[in-house]
């Protein structure tokens, strides 16, 4: 079997269609299990009580937000270097899911911060760098939206994503340093309580669920992008002509 | 080649002196607005001075970046420059250097003067001057990537701010950090060293990114 043929958007279109139900079903099952374990099995934290349970959505979302930015830059770079249309389309469809997870992690972080720290927002190093990550996503999405020619948008986005990926560690360290300089004592997000087995299990299940959800949604969006750009070819491939 | 590009851009800028001056005035006016909005309390002003001057410098460079490639793009010169046998990176470096001299150096020179408005000591004014001298090349270099990417786009002026400002954050942190450290009576050297390191890294990477972005924008 020649796997390379799936690098063509028209060939990948039906394959993506077949993959989506599997990933979305698995994501739904894991979401349910993860939430059940998180809400009913994991014990409540002795310091934060029940409020800590938002961790089960907050932490996976934050991880996915960071991970998807790097993945997006890799796909955009591949699409640019090898002139692979599918990889560039993948980058565009990853951007929105990544931005969504980053936004979720910011919002849930605020909800968590209010009962535990007594404030919606602190200029903590991690929160600040997540906010900046959100800005980088917004830049990528709005640059692509401003360019009419899709191939040109792909390549311009790739340059921006790669510059961003080089800059992310620098931003991260500078923000870290800035915070410690200005505030003396930083608030730790978690006092690293020796995390209980069921808490960890719920966290990992939720992470897997978010990951599978991302795959399913990104593939759905990818199918839309393929349809938009290569309408006729994609439809033919679906019927198997 | 490099010298020729720089010289040409400087001549062009000299013939449109008002453009250059308007950036400087923008910088001075923005900085002067803060005491009016916050109140004339000296201690408070001294605390916010590093951030205010640096943020105003970032915003002022947003104004001038739009012009970095736009004029050459509209009259077709940029296309000719792309066709020259010399490497495009050299052209980009020349134009970025010219932009720094025209748009950023005046800000660096006037900054100590606006610093006086915030009651900074003469030692701190020197640190402010040094931090801007080291940091403004970063603004020109990273900004040139954004300018090349948004060339000829609808609403490019606003878009470039969204793309570039988040990437400026390390320069802002180290630059204003140096001034703040000096105000508190600490050594500004660590901040300035990090700022210099960031400038070198952006000098290494961004001309290539700008050259690639120009090729994409002009195809």
Cβ within 8 Å, pair A156-B217: yes
Chain A residues touching B206 at Cβ < 8 A = 163
* Residue A93 pLDDT exceeds 70: yes
CB contact under 8 A, A156 and B173: no
| Cα dihedral sign, A195-A201-A202-A208 | positive
Under-70 pLDDT residues of chain B: none
Tell me, yes or no, if the pTM score tops 0.80.
yes
In the structure encoding, which two tokens stand for residue A124, read together?
């903590």
CA of residue A72 relative to chain centroid, distance: 9
- Please give the DSSP secondary-structure letter assigned to residue A118: S
CA angle B171, B215, A148 (to 5 degrees): 90
Q: Dump pLDDT digits (tens) for A148-203.
A: 888 899 999 999 999 999 888 888 888 877 776 544 444 444 555 556 677 888 88
Predicted interface score ipTM higher than 0.85: yes
Task: Identify whether the C-beta of residue A87 lies closer than 8 Å to the C-beta of residue A76.
Answer: yes
**Pair B135, B175: CB distance under 8 Å:** yes
Within chain A, strands assigned E span none
Burial call B17-47: b when 16+ CB within 10 Å, e when fewer: eebbeebbebbbebbeebbeeeeeeeeebbe
pLDDT digits (tens, 9 = 90+) for A19-43: 999 999 999 999 999 998 888 888 7
**Residues A168/A65, Cβ–Cβ less than 8 Å:** no
Between CA A57 and CA A238 the distance in angstroms is 36
Q: Say if the Cβ atoms of A166 and B205 lie within 8 Å.
A: yes
- Inform me whether the C-beta atom of residue B12 falls under 8 Å from chain A C-beta atoms: no
- The answer to whether B216 contacts A152, with C-beta atoms less than 8 Å apart, is yes
- Chain A hits for B159, CB-CB cut-off 8 Å, are 142-143, 146
């Amino acid at each position: 079997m020649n796997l390379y043929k799936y690098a063509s958007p028209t060939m990948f279109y039906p394959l993506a269609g077949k993959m989506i139900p599997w990933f979305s079903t698995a994501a739904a099952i894991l979401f349910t299990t993860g939430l059940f374990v998180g809400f009913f099995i994991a014990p409540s934290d002795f310091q934060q009580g029940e409020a800590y349970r938002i961790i089960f959505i907050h932490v996976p979302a934050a991880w996915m937000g960071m991970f998807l930015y790097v993945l997006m830059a890799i796909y955009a770079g591949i699409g640019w270097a090898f002139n692979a249309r599918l990889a560039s389309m993948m980058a565009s469809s990853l951007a929105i899911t990544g931005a969504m997870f980053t936004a979720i992690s910011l919002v849930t972080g605020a909800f968590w911060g209010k009962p535990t720290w007594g404030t919606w927002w602190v200029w903590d190093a991690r929160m600040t760098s997540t906010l900046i990550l959100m800005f980088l996503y917004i830049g990528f999405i709005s640059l692509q939206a401003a360019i009419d020619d899709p191939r040109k948008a792909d390549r311009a986005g790739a340059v921006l994503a790669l510059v961003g990926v080089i800059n992310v560690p620098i931003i991260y360290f500078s923000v870290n340093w800035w915070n410690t300089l200005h505030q003396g004592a930083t608030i730790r997000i978690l006092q690293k309580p020796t995390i209980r087995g069921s808490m960890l299990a719920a966290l990992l299940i939720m992470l897997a669920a978010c990951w599978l959800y991302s795959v399913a949604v990104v593939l759905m969006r990818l199918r839309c992008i393929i349809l938009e750009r290569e309408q006729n070819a994609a439809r033919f491939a679906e019927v198997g002509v | 080649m490099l010298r020729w590009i720089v010289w040409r851009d400087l001549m062009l800028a000299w013939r449109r002196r008002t453009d250059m001056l308007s950036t400087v005035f923008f910088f001075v006016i923005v900085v002067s607005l803060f005491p009016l909005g916050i109140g004339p309390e000296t201690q408070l002003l001294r605390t916010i001075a590093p951030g205010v001057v640096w943020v105003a410098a970032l915003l002022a460079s947003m104004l001038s970046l739009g012009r970095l490639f736009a004029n050459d793009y509209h009259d077709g010169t940029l296309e000719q420059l792309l066709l020259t046998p010399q490497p495009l990176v050299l052209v980009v470096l020349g134009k970025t250097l010219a932009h720094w001299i025209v748009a950023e150096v005046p800000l660096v020179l006037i900054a100590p003067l606006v610093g006086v408005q915030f009651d900074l000591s003469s030692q701190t004014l020197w640190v402010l001057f040094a931090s801007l001298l080291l940091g403004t090349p970063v603004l020109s270099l990273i900004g040139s990537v954004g300018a090349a990417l948004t060339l000829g786009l609808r609403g490019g002026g606003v878009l470039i701010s969204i793309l570039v400002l988040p990437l400026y954050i390390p320069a802002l942190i180290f630059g204003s950090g140096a001034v703040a450290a000096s105000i508190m009576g600490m050594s500004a050297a660590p901040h300035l060293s990090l700022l210099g390191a960031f400038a070198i890294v952006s000098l290494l990477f961004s001309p290539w990114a700008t050259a690639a972005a120009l090729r994409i924008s002009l195809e």
